[in-house]
Amino acid sequence: MLKRFFCTAALVLFAAVLQAGDDGRVFDEVPFNDVHADDNFWAPRIKTNAEVSAAHNIDWCENQTGRIQNYRVAAGAEGEFRGIYFDDSDVYKVIEGLAYTLADKPNPAIEAKAKEWIDLIGAAQQDDGYLMCWYIINNQEEKWSNLASMHELYCAGHMAEAAVAMARATGDETFLNISRRLIDLICKRYGPGPDQLRNVAGHPEIELALVKLYQYTGDKKYLEQAKFFVDCRGVAEGREKGLFGDYCQDHMPLREQSEIFGHAVRAMYLYSGATDVAGYYRDDALMAAMNRLWDNVTRTKMYITGGIGSDASNEGFRGEFFLPNGSAYCETCAAIGLTLWAHRMNLATGEARFADVMERALYNGVVSGYALSGDAYFYVNPLESDGNHHREPFFGCACCPTNVIRLIASMPGYVYATTLSDAAKSAGADEPDTLVVNLFVQGTAKVKLGGKAYTVQQKTGYPYDGVVEISVRPDDTSVPSTVNLRVRRPGKGEYLSRQLTFDAGQTEAKAAYGFDMTPRRMIANPKVEADRAQVAILRGPLVYCFEECDNPDVPLDEIMLPRYPYFREKFEKNYVAARDEDDPTAGFADRDAVVLTMKTDRNKTVKAIHYCLWDNRAAGKMRVWVKQDGMEPEPDQTAQPWRQEDWTDADGKPILYRELEFQHFRKL
């Protein structure tokens, strides 16, 4: 009974803390609608997303599948349910992507389509607020009867996320009001009260969506409901039908967990919501669990690409250091989920190390799942292919295409954050005075610091080069002001601090940075059997791979780098050319690359390109990890430099990847 008491009492206790005005998060994000990218990496993809992917996903929802027709049937039209029971969620994710697209650039056709869909959704909603097409059409008597598998709460969460995004992007709250009716029904049904039920979603998602509702509406009921769902997960006492197991991330209370198990996407969505809750409520025990789980994921179970989930059998995790390359699952949605979680860990703690992982996942594990054509997707992202793995236009379980459309369009929301400096805190200030730069993306942003409005502009060729110039312009130049900058030092887990001061009449101040983009050979912890005696190449945030089409005369599994290779770097415009003249993205999709050319140990010339660009040309084999001369295939893990203590940091935590150094070679 103690756990049941905690599930109820903790919610009441922390609600009281919140009502005292205690927001424990260190950073606040600068929202997507205040940031616009015009760089040479993300902006082309955002444009492709708007001009190709949006129409592609709309077509699949309307014409190729029954997703939109299901709402007409649920509203009373003749017909049967078509598709998978949780297909509503894909519609909501597409609408969310359309909302982010509208925030970037007005588009009457997209806005009209979103309104058309939202009207259909509203027409299908029942009088009490309930909405899930499968149950409305097939069996209304069974509503809420199988939260473990049928995803009612998952779909409701995606609807809430889309509704908040549409309200932020357009100011129109029609969809928000539809969503709130369903969410209010859920809040009434599930909770700590004597007349409420204790249960959780089999597929987490609603937890983070409830926080977004709270952030937009200011209604603390939604944050309290998120807290309730987090607290009750893994707690059997009082639950309707017991626990759902580790596949559903419902095997033990979150605060007791130290190792990640089960379904990768479900874990990432749950941890995202739990991290929000921990930050807002200053819940030290919950945040400690998030940190333990973060270490377990990123130090023992994450691919060098930022991909997670090594096992197809559970779409998730096995034991520590089990990271096969050819059979890697690495679902695109899981990399998106890791991005969401890393972003929230950064906001909650103010630590740059989380943004380092966010960047790695974005530039590699996420973008690899999206074809340059804008109309094909990877469901899984292996690090090695025999030439038979290709992107597809859609999937029966279509979570990845619809997840990509919203992630690509919302990416500007991950670039900046704001916070209070220590000096401002000491002075009793309550408005942020510090701009945090987490990602290096050329473009502009509007921010408010110290009660004053500023325009921020980044100029950079990142990730192709490491030069970044940040200019800040006050909207009001009549009075002096000060802006503090905290700029992430890529891959180092730290921020570089600088202060910009503005005299009265001064219109601009600048700060310039140069980050090392030298190619690096990385090696894996010797416990990762799949990567022994092999290296992967990193340049800036980009992981490289070898494709057969670039290396027709050298079998990829025979590539072995010499001990001290010379990497020739060349920026190639339109290196990955469009496949045909009719490709609608041929003129603007990012097809550039910094190509690395090097010699093998047999003096053969080989080329490597960005992992995120593979399989955009000819079919063929691909490898991220290649052999390295001078390394032992079976290193003695009891001798230097391969002992466990040689692969732990100062805090005794395992190191998963590190740069290759001379001591890692066997002696000549």
Q: Residues with Cβ < 8 Å from 194, sequence gap 6 or more?
A: none
Q: Are the beta carbons of 25 and 34 closer than 8 angstroms?
A: no
Q: In DSSP terms, which residues pair with 267 in a beta bridge?
A: none
Does residue 239 register a pLDDT over 70? yes
Encoding tokens for residue 349? 């703690």
C-alpha span between 438 and 458 (Å, rounded): 12
Q: Which residue spans within 224-324 are E strands per DSSP?
A: 262-263, 316-317
Does residue 144 register a pLDDT over 90? yes
C-alpha span between 339 and 360 (Å, rounded): 9
**Start-to-end Cα distance in the chain:** 65
Q: How confident is the model at residue 581 (pLDDT cuts 50, 70, 90)?
A: confident
Encoding tokens for residue 238? 């009082």
- The pLDDT assigned to 582 comes to 79
Q: How confident is the model at residue 583 (pLDDT cuts 50, 70, 90)?
A: confident
- The pLDDT assigned to 437 comes to 98
C-alpha span between 228 and 153 (Å, rounded): 14
Q: Are the beta carbons of 510 and 487 closer than 8 angstroms?
A: no
Q: How confident is the model at residue 589 (pLDDT cuts 50, 70, 90)?
A: confident
Mean pLDDT of the 592-600 span:
97
> In 10 A of CB 121, how many CB atoms?
27
Q: Could you tell me how many helices (H) and strands (E) the chain has, helices first?
A: 17, 23
- The pLDDT assigned to 22 comes to 52
List, for residues 33-84, the tens digit of each pLDDT value.
999 999 999 999 999 999 999 999 999 999 999 999 999 999 999 999 999 9
C-alpha span between 168 and 419 (Å, rounded): 21
Q: Are the beta carbons of 162 and 175 closer than 8 angstroms?
A: yes
Q: Are the beta carbons of 211 and 276 closer than 8 angstroms?
A: yes
List, for residues 438-449, the tens digit of each pLDDT value.
999 999 999 999
C-alpha span between 320 and 318 (Å, rounded): 7
- Which residue has tokens 């209370």? 253
Mean pLDDT of the 552-566 span:
97
Q: Sign of the CA dihedral 581, 585, 590, 596?
A: negative
Using CB atoms within 10 A of its CB, is residue 129 exposed (0-12), middle (13-18) or buried (19+)?
A: middle
List, for residues 326-347, the tens digit of each pLDDT value.
999 999 999 999 999 999 999 9
Q: Sign of the CA dihedral 374, 379, 384, 389?
A: negative
C-alpha span between 588 and 550 (Å, rounded): 23
- The pLDDT assigned to 578 comes to 82
Encoding tokens for residue 20? 């005292």
C-alpha span between 391 and 456 (Å, rounded): 37
**Rg for the chain, CA atoms, rounded:** 25
The better pLDDT of the pair 266, 425 is held by 266
- The pLDDT assigned to 328 comes to 96
Q: Mean pLDDT score of the chain, rounded to an integer?
A: 94
Question: What are the distances in angstroms from CA 12 to CA 162, 187, 231, 237, 276?
Answer: 29, 15, 11, 18, 17
List, for residues 153-185, the tens digit of each pLDDT value.
999 999 999 999 999 999 999 999 999 999 999
Q: Which amino acid belongs to residue 560?
A: M
C-alpha span between 189 and 183 (Å, rounded): 10
Report the alpha-carbon angle 407-413-416, nearest 5.
140
Which secondary structure element, helix H or strand E, spans residue 573, and what is its range? Answer: none
Whether pTM exceeds 0.75: yes
